[in-house]
Copies of this chain bind each other. A is one copy, B any other.
Amino acid sequence: MLCFGQTVAMVGIEGARSRARAEVTAAIKEEARRQLAEEGAARLSLRAVARELGMVSSALYRYFPGRDELLTALIVDAYSAAGAVAEAAASDSEGSAPSVRWREVCRALRRWALAHPHEYALVYGSPVPGYAAPDRTTEAASRIAMALFGVVADAVAAGDCAEPVDGPPAELLADAREVRARIGLELPAAVLARSLVVWPQLFGLIGFEVFGQLRGVIERRETYFDHAVDQLAATLGLFGERSARS
């Protein structure tokens, strides 16, 4: 019994039946993602997806229990797509100075967000369905943060990260310690605390641009973003040659 929506990568020996099921499920998600990119999450219509796929709407309920579940499947995919982009940028820049690695990961996330605004809205915008985010989304979400914190951890390990001058308050340190215990990342609690503070600020920058809040205010958005991200790197204490702008 396959659960709905999960990416059935390895179907293997399974009969033709479940293979067909996996293919139809993938086709549904693909068409849904297409409509999402075109019209946005609010206008994503189950019936339209079914229509485009040449099947009747009720048949679609064999694959997804409802519209919200289709959406959460798309959310999980979007999270992991963004996570993959961030991880790729982090590993591609391995060996570079911490501040340029940080900048590369941030740039990659921004690029992905601008290329997929509706999917970005799905994961970092207002929560669309009822209100509760299922657990599978949060664990998919952590990949992005892990990629970000990973370059900080690498910098600390290499001695390329300055210790905070005036440490964060004790309560924040406690939260940081709990997070560290859960994700198992090797870095001082004070540095993780600093990262946890910077983390939402990065998505504030990206979100403002994607959601059009910068329209009529900032025109040279690329340099704006790069400068902001460099400043965040400085806040994080990341070392690196100053402004190795390509």
Contact = CB atoms under 8 A, between A and B. Distances in A.
Query: At the interface, is chain A mostly helix, strand, loop or mixed?
Result: helix
Contacts of A171: 220, 223-224
Interface stretch (A4-12, A51-59, A153-161, A196-204): A196-204
A185 to B, nearest CB: 13
A37 interface: no
A100 to B, nearest CB: 17
Given A204-B205, A220-B175, A211 B126 contact: yes
Copies in the complex: 2
A115 B141 CA distance: 25
Interface stretch (A24-32, A86-94, A127-135): A127-135
Interface string A11-44: 0000000000000000000000000000011100
A138 interface: yes
Contacts of A205: 200-201, 204
Nearest to A242: B166
16 contacts: A125-B125, A126-B126, A126-B128, A126-B211, A138-B215, A175-B218, A178-B219, A197-B231, A200-B201, A200-B207, A200-B214, A201-B205, A201-B228, A203-B204, A207-B207, A235-B235
